[in-house]
Structure 1
Amino acid sequence: MKRKFFVGVCAVFMAVYAAAQSVTFDLVCENLAKHPNMTGNFTQVKTIKAVNRSLKSNGTFIFSLEGIMWKTEKPFPSSLAVGMTTVIQTKADGTQTVIDASSNQIFTSISTTLSSMFSGNAEGLSENFNVSFSSSGNLWTAVLTPKDSVVAAVLTSLSVSGTATASFAELDSIVMTEASGDTITYSFTDQKYPKELTADEKACFTAK
């Protein structure tokens, strides 16, 4: 009886170990691509190295193949929609500023990176970043270092992490490290995966 119990426990541990070992960056991207739209809440913490100060904000977000939208609720209402070609900043009074996305290397990099991940394009990411992937149990982390010297002069690394199984993956946090040493950390909660964005959500990516 004891022997059977021991063999059973060993089998369970071996199965868990095998599942953990099977989680790869390609698999994570493949499973994220099953949900091209992700919405939820975010908390952002920006740490400014020079003055040893942290700034915190929170709100809601949208990740889609159209781009990323950050709708900040605290400490001050605003929104930032980052598409493939434009960045739309909207103040609390509705005033919008539209700029060329190429002028903001950090947000352009995160937008194209997440779009690639959510479209399952791990190979495309490897063309633009050196990818260091690790996993432990159902936790995974991918550290992406830009190959382009222009991007690297602004953004030294982009770390994305979350949870995963053989058939499901979720993005839980992003850490951007700037060349200055400053970091921006996003933590995500209450993630949802709608098949379609609402008309209002789609409108966030179009300038008025």
Structure 2
Amino acid sequence: MRYWLILSLLVIAPFSCAQVTDLTSLQEQLAKNTIVRGEFTQLRHIDLFEQPLSSTGQFTLSKQRGLLWQQTSPFPINLVLTEDKLRQTFADQQPQVMTAEDNPMAFYFSHVFLNVFHGNTEALVQQFSITFTALQDGWTIELTPIQAPLNSVFKVITLVGDEHIDRLTLQEIRGDRTEILFSNQTSQPEGLTDAEQAQFSF
């Protein structure tokens, strides 16, 4: 459960590489878009398996409402996260709703990562040692957790991108690794559709 929630939150808004030259300008860009949509491919590398576990789907991140994460393959999972509630639906099963009171640790992780993607500098420096590298064809950020419980789970979190985030890698302390590849990101339309609004109404 903890990894599913964490990975579901690691979605980032698109930004222009030409305007991103350091961590400050990157954080300013992260705070600009109120909505971002796109597709994802998630690869979970586990030492016990020769091939990674793969899943694909679509996401919608709304700064006002929360995150909609819709896995379509290898089986459908629908996740909706708001500030204080999480709803998960597996295939045709009944939705499961969790509140911050039910699982404070899960929502701690969610708020940390949302602060990362919204450009909250104070939260970043409190939770991570940050290395930003501007490249000729993009940029790389390495986030090394410096406090519990993050530093007991992750060794380093790496973001690589150009105009958009292209790849997110979570290296765990125990050796497993998760990669999330993002594609077709857009901030249009700027408002939630009726179908998206309905997902957040629970």
Using structure 2 for the length normalisation, give the TM-score: 0.76
Where does the alignment leave 5 or more consecutive residues of structure 1 unmatched? 1-18, 165-169
What is the match of residue 57 of structure 1?
A: 55
> What does residue 95 of structure 1 align with?
94
Distance 1:186 1:132, change over 3 A: same
Paired with 2:73 and 2:135, the residues of 1 have a C-alpha distance of 34
Counterpart residue type for residue 94 of structure 2 = T
Given that 1:105 and 1:154 are in contact with CA atoms closer than 8 Å, whether structure 2 keeps it comes out as no
C-alpha offsets along residues 97-128 of structure 1, whole Å, 9 cap, x if unaligned? 1234584867853x435532443323321222
Q: Is 1:71–1:77's contact at 8 Å kept on the other side of the alignment? A: yes
Contact 2:19/2:25 (CA < 8 Å) preserved in 1?
Answer: no
In structure 2, give the amino acid aligned to 1:173.
R
Which consecutive segments of 4 or more residues in structure 1 shift more than 6 A? 19-22
Secondary structure at the aligned position of 1:50 is classed as coil
CA shift at 1:141, angstroms?
1.4
Aligned-partner SS, 2:126: helix
Query: What is the one-letter code of the residue matched to 2:53?
Result: L
Q: Tell me by how many angstroms 1:45 deviates.
A: 0.5
Greater helix share, structure number = 1
Q: In the alignment, which residue of structure 1 is the partner of 2:131?
A: 132
Give the 5 Å matches for 1:137-156: 137-156=136-155
The structural deviation recorded for 1:130 is: 1.2
* Residue 96 of structure 1, CA deviation: 0.8
> Any conservation in 2 of the 1:82–1:107 contact (CA below 8 Å)?
no
Determine the structure 2 residue equivalent to 1:187.
181
Gaps of 5+ in 2: 1-16
| Matching residue's letter, 1:198 | T
User: What amino acid is the match of 1:68?
Assistant: L
Counterpart in the other structure of 1:119: 118
C-alpha spacing 1:84/1:197, structure 2 compared with 1 (3 Å):
same
Q: How many residues align?
A: 183
CA RMSD of aligned residues (A): 2.8
Question: How many angstroms does 1:64 deviate by?
Answer: 2.5
Could you say which structure has the larger radius of gyration? Answer: 1
Give the TM-score of the pair, scaled to structure 1: 0.74
